[in-house]
A and B are shown apart, each in its own frame.
Chain A
Amino acid sequence: MSAPLSWNRLPRVEPRAIHRLSHRWEAPPDRLPRPLLAYGNGRSYGDVCLSERGSLLLTRSLDRFIAFDPVQGIIRCEAGVTLGEILALVVPHGWFLASTPGTRLATVGGAIANDVHGKNHHEVGSFGHHVRALELWRSDGRVIECGPDQNQEWFRATVGGLGLTGLMRWAEIQLMPIQNPWMWVQSQRFANLEAFWLLNREAEAHWPYTVAWIDCLARGRARGRGILLSGQHAAAQTDLPAFKTGGKRVPFDPPFSLVNRLSLRGFNALYYRQPIKPQGALTHYLPYFYPLDAIQDWNRIYGRKGFYQYQCVIPPEPAELAIAALLDTIASHGEGSFLAVLKTFGNKPSLGMLSFARPGTTLALDFPNRGDKTLRLLAALDSIVKEAGGALYPGKDARMPASLFRSGYPQWQAFSEYIDPNFSSRFWQRVTQ
């Protein structure tokens, strides 16, 4: 079997063994070289889901629903079920995930282990806030059920715990009611970063979902120009348009990255000039939340060398200056990102000891892997993030220095008490040893 990859297709490392779990009560066999690590649907980036010294436990076949209460909107399922599989089941019953990342192909286990967030973080917090309970298998044979009201310390360690506290076997999630599968979405153009802050403050006060795309190649007075998308679930109405799903895919690995300086400049300039809808329009939830899921294997456009995701969060106080400095640094390196995403988090404290989401502003970028050149730029960005007291997102990281991880996650040592002694990841070895 070829070695599983993470979504940005780097690093390429081989585990010593791969084992697929078929049933949730099945304990990983003793013959597997330790340490162990669960691998879901490979939608995290970098090496939080990869192992070099031990074995990967494939959890995608743990894909059974256990119970669904369509009156209360509570679903319990095995950890390998994807968010998309949940939505396909619950949306016709008038329920939705209270928090969802930008892909529905992530598993429930992965969403909890990375405590993922969505465009409505400022209203509802992150994924972990909506988990009612989960079950953890520990390599000493113990099984721990935990949640916000039981074994809280295990819950706080496991939410955002990067799969290190043991094998998550099932979880129970509180859903959110909706009237129909449609979104009401408004888009507004802003001329620069200063305009973004004003517009965003206004939008956050009125809209449950907000996110901005920015053109990170624009410089000078246009620095940080972009488009702000604000959305809400559509109200009950009878006259809804028809929606047809159709998939495209990237069928092979191009020999070099199709994302380069030329295509980036063109794409960013065009994207900024797209027709906007300041009055708002109806959009189906699939293209609104998961535009990239429509193109299967989109990550291949970066070629065989893969790409780096860079997602940081900057605390509120220094955010305006630091985000400006980050954009200046990117533009001066000429290393644009295809889609730079800017979003402010709300003040709801995350539950997990290692959760990424925290009050402040998050900027997410991806860069084609051009070797040292790219790494030098990312190191320059690191120093701005560190200076500002920010943190990087482990679920999107393939290279952050240990010092930046430790300063961004001051609870990391307290967290280590909860790590299963027979579990580890390449990420964890990298930032703690």
Chain B
Amino acid sequence: MNALKRVIIFGATSTIAEQTARQLIAQGASLYCIGRNPHKLEAMLADLKVRAGSNQRVDGTAADLTDSSRHEALIAAAEAFLGGVDGVLIAHGTLPDQQACQQEVATMRREIETNALSVLSLLTLLANRLEPQGRGVIAVISSVAGDRGRQSNYLYGAAKGMVSLFAQGLRNRLAKSNVDVVTIKPGFVDTPMTAEFDKSGLLWTKPEQIAAGIIKAMQKGKGEVYLPWFWWGIMLIIKHIPEAIFKRLSL
């Protein structure tokens, strides 16, 4: 079991991350939160400080994580504030407009930068920090979309696929240092990122439930986790449809 007493959250103002932060606070953790929008971050930190007990510490800073030159300093600041790190959650990301990415290489590259390369940069630096201490957990929010390329959003899928694969290798590397790397693959989650979708179907999940699943997976040091669990079955089927058939589907 990984005790989550001191946790860093990147992309903290995303709905899933904010719910995770609240639940971690309720469990007694201290947090350092990094988010892009300073207003959102400020509102979130104020809320977390109200919820936190007097022996818990909460702070954070606003930063654009696509600027990877700042990553080292951000991690150092978080570690200094918390006095050590037990766990890290990397949750930032966007949902790219697939059409726009098909039309413009610049847009495509920017989305890869945001959703994949900035994550890989953080993972690299964090791995090197945690490896020598011989304990801790790094969780990264990937997506079921990264399991197979589909015409409707293969740019997002490719970015998340890169994150999943990178995390898989890192997990392998850090296993002997007793540092867990957890890949979170949420299915459809009811958040502002998916505001334009019809959410009446059964597959939609509340961010609070995803948050609870993330914390459990981090504590247990799981490898790959589908949230909710039944997405494992759905993706198993989707991954195994033969390419000859798959290319004719409009998924």
Contact = CB atoms under 8 A, between A and B. Distances in A.
With most chain A CB atoms within 10 A of its CB, the pick from B44, B46, B50, B198 is B50
Contacts, number: 31
Nearest to B37: A23
B199 A1 contact: yes
A61 B107 CA distance: 31
Contact of B192 (A2, A22, A68): A22
Contacts of B192: 20, 22
A2 B199 CA distance: 9
B145 to A, nearest CB: 22
B51 interface: yes
B200 A1 contact: yes
Does more than half of chain B's interface fall in helix, strand or loop, or is it mixed? helix
A247 to B, nearest CB: 16
A65 B15 contact: no
Nearest to B46: A66
Contacts of A66: 43, 46-47, 50
Nearest to B191: A22
Contacts of B195: 20
A54 B199 CA distance: 20
Nearest to B50: A65
Contact of B50 (A1, A22, A89): A89
B199 A67 contact: no
A415 B15 CA distance: 38
B56 to A, nearest CB: 14
Interface string A145-176: 00000000000000000000000000000000
B50 A23 contact: no
Interface string B48-89: 001100000000000000000000000000000000000000
Contacts of B47: 64-66
A25 interface: yes
In the complex, the 3 A-B pairs of residues with the closest C-beta atoms, listed nearest first: A64-B47, A65-B50, A68-B50
Interface of B: 15, 39-40, 43-44, 46-47, 50-51, 192, 195, 198-200
Interface of A: 1-2, 20, 22-25, 61, 64-68, 89
15 contacts: A1-B198, A1-B200, A20-B192, A22-B15, A22-B192, A23-B40, A24-B43, A25-B39, A64-B44, A64-B46, A65-B46, A66-B47, A67-B46, A67-B50, A68-B50
